[in-house]
Amino acid sequence: MTAAQDVLETVFGYPSFRGQQEQIVDRLIAGGDAVVLMPTGGGKSLCYQIPALVRPGTGIVVSPLIALMHDQVQALRLAGVRAEYLNSTQSSEERDRVASDYRAGLVDLLYVAPERLALDSTRSLLSSAPVSLIAIDEAHCVSQWGHDFRPDYLALGELGRIWPDVPRVALTATATRATHADITERLGLQGAEHFVADFDRPNIQYRIAPKNEVRSQLKELIEAQRSPTGEPVAGIVYALSRKRVEQTAEYLNANGITALPYHAGLDAAVRENTQSRFLREEGIVVVATIAFGMGIDKPDVRFVAHIDLPKSVESYYQETGRAGRDGQPALAWLAYGLNDVVQQRRMIEQSEGSEAHRRAQSMHLDAMLALCESVTCRRQQILRYFGQESGPCGNCDVCLNPPETWDGTVAAQKLLSTVVRLDRERGQAFGAGHLIDILRGAETERIRSQRHDELATYGIGADLTAVQWRGVVRQLLAAGLIASRGEYGVLGLSPLSAEVLSGDRVVLLRKDTMEAAPRARKAAA
């Protein structure tokens, strides 16, 4: 038996590795670097915990989730692992004790918050004893395309220079191709082996519906989800605000559905009680803000419903992923309306943080919208987002009920021709807003100064509104027929664009979202 297998069984009590765990563990034990992309719940922790125990020295785990550190360390201690953490919630006496244990070689795994690792004092402490490996959890934080771009994470790029002989592993559940490349570069992991897990959850049926009377839509949905014997089933309803959580739970209860609200504004005791009822009783629906679900491992959640638009495909995937962990059929349902878009754009505009951060958020939202407006299989879209190609699934609303479409080939050609002309004639590239201005023949300062009113495509798209054009752009992005590149959301050609331009590919666009589009302008005004 290998040392890794032995640790897996005797320390963690599992008979076998899952997915790519074994290859990742072997790679790290042998001293190589790795980049790991695995969905939440996929079992990332063992990938670094086991090599840390097998190799001599202390394994350093960098994690931004300070709130979870205590629990993680506690769980490891119960398994007999000498685990410790260093973060800002500790007293200095406590940190001193951890430091002296570390120096004495009494620590197997040390969890460190990124802001502590940025301190010289922490680095010299860590250099005072052998390090077995360095794991960087939630590695998307290092990327400007990630959700919580943190300056402290950038400093992690130096770790490879400080400890050139120590294997490093970066792990994340949320990475598009752009993020993935960014992580690899910024962490100096060019020599790492990449492990990308299968993100497909075949037992989850994805359904995205236009939002009308969302609460009664939700009620009907929940009633339709009863078990074969008519019993209510467990589910989670996600909403963006506390108020909507409260109101929705009240509404469901008034309609005979046992629903408990859950959000950060409730007492800790109330929240704990909700969690334990959800875990232990049958058929409880929890209406929650995104705060609910982290660390909850309930296998038989039969549905996850979103009554507000998630902020990104990553969050959507992660939240819907809490359904059907037992492998039995489960439903992921989302109601989406144009007000969601208006509201979220406003939230992004008003949000704190850098311009780059707002731009990243805006791109995340666009990708989410593209998924909502997709005319092709939802699962295919989601998997493509994570860099995985697949065929139509036969188990999503689009596959089961193909939406009404219109032929957007000519519109797509107009847009792509504009992209080509700008690129060819001037070596420049622009974002969607400016391209749409050109197509619609707008008279803006930018158009005049760039002399874009002299382009052959100037004004040839006046038959569609700006909002409809944005719908076209989003759907082309979703289908991979146009590419968004660079940090300014600039539009460029994709490998498939040529087929559209040559007329070899028909572009079908959704009718429903296009018809609804002009109303969005009124709502926004």
Tell me phi and psi for residue 358, to 5 degrees: -60, -40
Among residues 396, 412, 416, 507, which is the contact residue for Zn ion, using CB under 5 A?
Answer: 396
- Select the binding partner of residue 393 from ligand ADP, Zn ion, none (C-beta < 5 to 8 A, by kind): Zn ion
Residue with tokens 């690129």: 423
Among residues 41, 299, 353, 486, which is the contact residue for ligand ADP, using CB under 6 A?
Answer: 41
Q: How far is the CB of 361 from ligand ADP (least distance, A)?
A: 23
Whichever of 62 and 221 has its CB closer to ligand ADP, that residue is: 62
The widest CA-to-CA distance across the chain, in whole angstroms, is: 74
Q: Are 307 and 214 in contact (CB under 8 A)?
A: yes
Among residues 20, 34, 44, 432, which is the contact residue for ligand ADP, using CB under 6 A?
Answer: 44
Stretch that binds ligand ADP, among 16-24, 118-126, 341-349, 400-408 (CB under 6 A): 16-24
Among residues 69, 156, 377, 415, which is the contact residue for Zn ion, using CB under 5 A?
Answer: 377
Stretch that binds ligand ADP, among 43-51, 59-67, 85-93, 211-219 (CB under 6 A): 43-51
Among residues 2, 6, 10, 14, which is the contact residue for ligand ADP, using CB under 6 A?
Answer: 14
- Select the binding partner of residue 377 from ligand ADP, Zn ion, none (C-beta < 5 to 8 A, by kind): Zn ion
Does position 203 bind ligand ADP by CB under 6 A?
no
Stretch that binds ligand ADP, among 13-21, 153-161, 269-277, 489-497 (CB under 6 A): 13-21
Does position 493 bind ligand ADP by CB under 6 A?
no
For 49-62, give the DSSP string.
Answer: HHHHHHSSSEEEEE
Tell me phi and psi for residue 158, to 5 degrees: -80, -15
E strand or H helix at 35: strand 34-37
Whichever of 21 and 418 has its CB closer to ligand ADP, that residue is: 21
CA atoms within 13 A on the CB side of 115: 8
Q: Are 472 and 411 in contact (CB under 8 A)?
A: yes
Report CA 298 to chain centroid distance, whole Å: 20
Q: Are 509 and 405 in contact (CB under 8 A)?
A: yes
Among residues 65, 399, 496, 524, which is the contact residue for Zn ion, using CB under 5 A?
Answer: 399
Q: Are 295 and 68 in contact (CB under 8 A)?
A: yes
Residues numbered 78-137 forming contacts with Zn ion, rule: CB under 5 A: none
Q: Which two tokens stand for residue 404?
A: 């009404």
Alpha helices by DSSP H, 295-354:
313-320, 338-350
Q: Which two tokens stand for residue 121?
A: 């004092």
Does position 382 bind Zn ion by CB under 5 A?
no
Residues at the contact surface with Zn ion, assessed by CB under 5 A:
377, 379, 393, 396, 399
Residues at the contact surface with ligand ADP, assessed by CB under 6 A:
14, 17-18, 21, 38, 40-46, 297
